[in-house]
């Protein structure tokens, strides 16, 4: 089953996603896409790691999510988060549309449960610079495609889940 959890910054989406995975038998796999670009991001990573307790195995996967899924054996997986993954792709100059298709194929092929977290970035103002607009556009396409293949789709608003799908 694929569950997609979308929300704004600091909406509670990661905590909610962790709660969902922890309802399944351990061990739980945490595919972490974040890179510590600066001190603030490093602290955020540390805070996320502290919040998770026993039973978690963290695998750093800044780019190759589909490849990482191929190496697992049906364990419950939390992917956090797709917008950080998208940032990595853009910073490393990957072909975004191709990488999205590779990701979707990997998600659909995985035999275990997957919970996917991502940041909603398209409900604010139009960004002023071209790279930020490209990011927002890629994120919108990515979210639409993941939502389409997801069995469950939940938006988190101020810490509360709003169930979209089914």
Number of folded domains in the chain? 1
Given the residues 48, 93, 95, 138, select the one marked as catalytic: 48
Residues 15-31 as b/e (b if ≥16 CB within 10 A, e otherwise) read ebbbebbbeeeeebbbb
For residue 48, indicate whether it is catalytic.
yes
CATH number at residue 48: 3.40.50.300
Domain range enclosing 143? 2-165
* pLDDT tens series, the chain, 166 aa: 999 999 999 999 999 999 999 999 999 999 999 888 788 878 877 877 777 778 899 999 999 999 999 999 999 999 999 999 999 999 999 999 999 999 999 999 999 999 999 999 998 889 999 999 999 999 999 999 999 999 999 999 999 999 999 9
Candidates 5, 3, 4, 2; CA nearest to 156 is 5
pTM here? 0.93
Residues 6+ apart with CB under 8 A from 72: 29, 110, 112
In residues, how long is the chain? 166
């Amino acid at each position: 089953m694929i569950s997609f959890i979308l929300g704004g910054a600091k909406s509670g989406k990661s905590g909610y996603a962790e709660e969902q995975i922890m309802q399944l038998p351990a061990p739980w796999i945490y595919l972490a896409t974040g890179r510590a670009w600066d001190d603030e991001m490093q602290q955020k990573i540390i805070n996320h790691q502290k919040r998770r307790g026993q039973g978690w195995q963290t695998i750093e996967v800044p780019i190759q999510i589909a490849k990482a899924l191929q190496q697992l054996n049906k364990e419950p997986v939390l992917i956090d988060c797709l917008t950080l993954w998208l940032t990595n792709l853009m910073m490393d100059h990957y072909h975004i549309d191709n990488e999205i298709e590779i990701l979707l194929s990997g998600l659909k092929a995985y035999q275990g449960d997957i919970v996917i977290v991502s940041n909603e970035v398209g409900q604010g103002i139009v960004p002023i610079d071209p790279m930020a607009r490209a990011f927002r556009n890629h994120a919108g396409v990515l979210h639409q495609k993941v939502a389409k293949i997801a069995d469950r789709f939940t938006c988190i608003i101020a810490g509360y889940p709003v169930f979209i799908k089914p």
